[in-house]
Structure 1
Amino acid sequence: MSDTDPIETDDAPNTDNPYSQGVRAGDTLYVSGYGPVDPETGAVVDGDIDAQTDRVLDNIAAVVDEAGGDGLADVVKVTVYLTDLEDYERVNEAYGARFGADPPARVCVEVSRLPEDVRVELDATAYLG
């Protein structure tokens, strides 16, 4: 088995489900999928899809930071899961505002349902070299 380290932080949502918030394997960090859940309350954040996308990105950044990275600056790949592709443009705006001129590689898919019936979830891969 390879040498991996689970990453845990109170600055991102924790559940009783059997997965790590992130797993570091060498210089690569794999961040689990997150919905727009506030880590302090465990509740889905109020607000539109823009606010919810921001919360998801905050959760991902917190895991990257905990692993010794530089938040979203170290993210190299993201998968976006939407329950309605009508949200695509607004998610792109919120996402683009956070990643700037050099965004990571990305996939976006529409799914039939997400946990807690949220509208958006993202997972990420970061390079911490």
Structure 2
Amino acid sequence: MLSFCIASSPNTIYELRMYVTNSNISDNIVVHAYGSDDQGNHSLAKNEEFDWKFGVKFGTHYQGEFWWGSRYKSIALYNDDISASCFNGDVFRVQRCYWLVREDGFWNHGRNVSFPGGWTRRETW
């Protein structure tokens, strides 16, 4: 019974919902996220958000590819380094991980708080 409460698939430690938001770019950006599954391409207008949920196991990694006009960037959206900012310690609740894509870079936080309050810039364009 305990393993059913913690995870929806074998070896899953906890569930995580990932949010990627075009925070302040007036042009559409294209996001392609992939890891244990491929989320495909998503075109996000200013203030639009794309989210999905996945099970976290040891070694889980999600990569994001971003296009903004002629700019391109590939970044880690979720890995061992980023997991600490997105995990609150409660394996019985869905964890949340937030990304803001801005003109000055890619910002990450474990809670949906107003920018810039505690957001960490992980990458620049």
TM-score, reference length from structure 2: 0.32
Structure with max Cα Rg: 2
Structure in which a larger fraction of residues adopt strand: 2
**Higher relative contact order (CA closer than 8 Å, sequence separation 6+):** 1
